[in-house]
Structures are given as structure tokens and as C-alpha cells.
Amino acid sequence: MVMLTWRRMNQARSTRRSFLWNTLAAAGPALSAVTVSPAAGAGVEAPRNSLRVVCVGGHPDDPESGAAGTLALYAQQGHSVTVIYLTRGERGISGKSNDEAAAIRTAECEAACKIIGAKPVFAGQIDGSTESNRVRVEEMQKILAAEAPDILITHWPVDTHLDHQVASLLAFRVYLALKPRPHLYYFEVNTGSQSLGFTPNVYVDITSVREKKKAALAAHRSQDGEGIGRTHHEIIANYRGREAGVAAAEAFFHLNRDVQTASLPGL
């Protein structure tokens, strides 16, 4: 059985998207686990109120590191899942040219997305040379507008890697312009060495799909995804699970720009 557990620190607004969000969380335990191909959700009947979930990452394996479990849960429940890779990891394989590395890592992305049931999209920037400017914002806006996300997930912006910062900033700039505006969630990557000061307010129980997340990470063979997953991401999943009271979890920060509160907590 699939269980999706969201723990919020703020009360969600009473809108259609919030209603769908709460309905998804409540309905999770009653849904059976099903493997979904990324093409058209073969073998799964889409939920009556299907959600469009989009995750933006800087490099191949970033979205898988921070959100593969959550994305897999959405996909196997019949929701539309898209992963946007800002780059193809062109500078990520020693001894390979940019084009050679891009070809290898693109294939790895496609394999990882097939495992979690997502559609891969590539934004066309270059690993190590990413930019955030008007032209790049417009490019990302076209991509995200075509996907029309209900839920947008991206990097926590306080990060030591410039490409992660750029991916986060571009997603945020487009989030502000999208109408209707999606829910925005930030994920963590290599917390302590890359994501800094990350303080989650939302947890997702990924216990039922943690093996699927491991497989998606292992698909990135050129990056030793299996080894990195074992030495870092499994530890993080266990730690976040302890925080959430489950066996394994992914943690996020939900940007609640639309939530009004009478005062700050404790004041």
C-alpha cells in the first residue's frame, strides 16, 4: 500500500489546489502500489483530480537525490510527474568531452526517470556555466508554462553549488509569474556540504518506495549513484524518517506566500 504523509507547520489556504493536496494525502493509504511508465501512465487510471508535479534540478541526479521517493509516490498514484534538468551534467565525467558526458548522463536521466515514472525534460544550460538573467528566466517560463504545474519542487536556494542556486532562482522567478501559482517546495541535496541552513516544514513518508529511490540513484552510474546513495542519501532518509516518526522520509520546505497568520509563532 502507498502512504503519503505531509506534515505542515502552517494551515493551507482553502483553494482547489489545497483541497486536492489534502485529498491526496488522505487517500494515500487506500491506494495500491503500481509501477507507472513515464510515457502515459500505462496501467494506471489517472485520479479524478490529477495533479501535475514538476521538479527542477541543476544536474542529472539532483532531483533523484532530493525528491525521487516523493516523485515516485505521485507517479504510481497516477499523477503527472516531470523532471526538468537545468543541465545535462556536461562537466561531470573526468576524461570525457562535454558532448560525451552529456550523452552518457542524458541516458542515465532517462533510465532514472523511467524507474520513478517521470518524464525528463532538459532546459539546455551547461554544467558549470549556468546563468540567471532575463533570457534564461523566459526560457524556463516557457518550459514551466507548458507543464502547468500544480506542485513545483526545486533546490533549497542556500547552496554551495552555483548551478543549484541558479536552478532554484529560475524556478522561483517563474513561480512568481505563473497563473495560477503552484505550491512551491524546496528539497535538500547533500545537506551540510551543499544545502546549508535547511529547515524543513514538510515530510513525506517514502518507506514504501525507498528501494525505487535507490534504483533511480544507481541509474547514475557515471556518478557512482549507488555508492553516494548508500553513504549519504540513505542516511538522510533515515534521519528525516526519525524526525517524522516513520522509517524513511524526504523533507521539504514549503513556501507559504499565500498563508496569512495572526502572528509569528510564540509572539
User: pTM to 2 decimals?
Assistant: 0.81
**What is the topology classification, in CATH, of domain 16-25+47-254?**
Rossmann fold (3.40.50)
β-sheet with 151-155: strand ranges across = 119-125, 80-87, 52-57, 151-155, 183-187, 249-255, 202-205
Q: How confident is the model at residue 142 (pLDDT cuts 50, 70, 90)?
A: very high
Q: How confident is the model at residue 215 (pLDDT cuts 50, 70, 90)?
A: very high
Whether the per-residue pLDDT at 240 is higher than 60: the answer is yes
Residue ranges per structural domain of the chain: 16-25+47-254
pLDDT digits (tens, 9 = 90+) for 12-62: 333 434 433 443 443 333 222 222 223 333 344 556 689 999 999 999 999
pLDDT digits (tens, 9 = 90+) for 32-46: 222 222 333 334 455
Q: What is the pLDDT of residue 47?
A: 66
Q: What angle (nearest 5°) sits at the alpha carbon of residue 214, between those of residues 40 and 255?
A: 70
Q: How confident is the model at residue 259 (pLDDT cuts 50, 70, 90)?
A: low
pLDDT digits (tens, 9 = 90+) for 71-110: 999 999 999 999 999 999 999 899 999 999 999 999 999 9
Q: How confident is the model at residue 229 (pLDDT cuts 50, 70, 90)?
A: confident
Residues 6+ apart with CB under 8 A from 47: 24, 77, 78, 79
